[in-house]
Structure 1
């Protein structure tokens, strides 16, 4: 049997190519968008900040693109006979596939932070930038940044986002596996149509659930930040959100339990019903 570390390394390298392509595309897009914004005066402020603002503006779109493309790659791996014939347990393959997508997602975030920092060098190196920063962010300007910082809350915010990412990956796999299980027990003529209908129905249910928990998760995340290092830098509207650390940790626990349930379901479906294709 191949070890978890070996298969995890291979899958991470496989998805790292996707990350590098997206990063390269983001660099090209950011530069073109920055010059376009500068030419048409799209952003307010000094011209030195245009490139940095351009990179910040397009970053969420490339994060979303990675989420979609990596989810698709995950499903291709589950359906690939090449990967499924590897002497490894289905549960090990599932965890390696899932966590390699998370690790490479963090790799993309690190690259994006580097892009933004490099694009912002012309403005970051000016005295005016730091004077404005000190003026607008009270705790930093007063030298109380580390007094206000609650690293535990910041770490919990990152963990919460990772748990949500895991939920998205395993939910997509659950929808895909369930659709194929249902369609495989039906005649071939209608199996594709039934698979499509099942996927659409489960996706609609998932979207309804996500819409209902959106504000709850957003408020919990804001609560982490409000009790942490950004306490004195949030806007008044954000400060109106009442923070309750107990409910924040409860949110994390609830998402963690849902993730475990979906992972367990996926392991059963992958092991007993999900057939690989050539």
Structure 2
């Protein structure tokens, strides 16, 4: 059997070039918009107006920071989409399925490598952002390493738990997106293969659209029911005003949903996808 470490390394290196490409495009985008913002300065410049909405527009470092925040959102969404595409290429690749490892093992390593890849690009963006924030703070004659009144009423434990909760939510969100995309793709191919009509791209698109709509509706209904049960439970037992931690509930939902969808995906791969690819 191929080792887990070797499989993970191969997948990670294969996907890392997409992370580097996205970071490079983001850098060029920030540089280009920064030049346009400097050349066409003024209140009528849409680039400056959008960037100033995040951090202000007192100097050039504010402009760079604002553009970085703006492009990071689009870069991360684009990269997430690229990872979904790469995941499905690997899941349905005859070359990868012929590796002496089970289809379930390949799927799990595939998803984990994508999560680590997301962490890779996220950490680089955070490090660069902290560098820019530090320089921007000094440009305003503010020492970023000296404590301020911000957050003084929040204990270290509460701050650490809040950060962990946010990270768990982000990871859970990525996991459930990857798992849902895989489920939709695998179910689409499985259902399309069983239909009496000719298996064409149009048929697969229709089946996929139906599955996505049904899946989103079910997810929204479940989310509403869970949040309603959670808030009703808290308020029924509370004798004073309380803070409702919906972020923690969302993180728990994402992780449970990703695990359940992952189990279904592994079963689909073992029963339908893996035998068909191997017998080609």
Question: Cα gap change, 1:33/1:145 in structure 2, threshold over 3 Å: closer, same or farther?
Answer: farther
Instruction: Please state if 1:65 is matched with 2:65.
Output: no
Corresponding residue for residue 158 of structure 1: 167
TM-score by length of 2: 0.78
Instruction: State the shift of 1:208 in Å.
Output: 3.2
| Superposed counterparts of 1:108-123, under 5 Å | 108-123=121-136
CA, structure 1 residues 123+150, in 2 after alignment: closer, same or farther (shift >3 Å)? closer
CA RMSD of aligned residues (A): 3.1
The residue correspondences of 1:252-263 to structure 2 (distance < 5 A) are 252-263=251-262
* Partner Cα separation in structure 2 for residue 185 and residue 172 of structure 1: 20
Residue equivalent to 2:211: 202
Q: Gapped runs of 5+ residues in structure 2? A: 228-240
Once the two structures are superposed, the pairs formed by residues 90-109 of structure 1 within 5 Å of their partners are 90-109=103-122
Counterpart CA distance in 1 for 2:64 and 2:106 is 41
- Distance in 1 (alpha carbons) for counterparts of 2:62 and 2:226: 32
Q: Name the structure 1 match of 2:232.
A: none
User: Partner of 2:277 in structure 1?
Assistant: 276
Question: What number of residue pairs does the alignment pair up?
Answer: 251
Q: Which moved more, 1:177-186 or 1:32-41?
A: 32-41
The 1-side partners of 2:250 and 2:135 are apart by: 41
Aligned match of 2:58: 46
How far 1:3 moved relative to its partner?
1.4
| 3-state SS of 1:139 partner | coil
Task: Give CA deviations for 1:153-182 in whole Å, capped at 9, x if unaligned.
Answer: 321221122111100000000000001001
Which stretch of structure 1 is more off in the superposition, 209-218 or 100-109? Answer: 209-218
Q: Which residue in the other structure is 2:237 paired with?
A: none
Residue of structure 2 in register with 1:27 after alignment: 27
Is contact 1:139–1:148 with CA below 8 Å preserved after alignment? no
Is residue 176–residue 257 contact of structure 2 (8 Å, CA) maintained in 1?
yes
1:265 aligns with 2:278: no
Task: Name the residue aligned to 1:244.
Answer: 244
* 1:32 CA displacement: 1.1
Taking structure 1 as reference, are residues 152 and 145 closer, same or farther at Cα in structure 2, changes over 3 Å only? closer
Change (3 A) 1:162 1:147: closer
Instruction: Give the deviation of 1:260 after TM superposition.
Output: 1.5
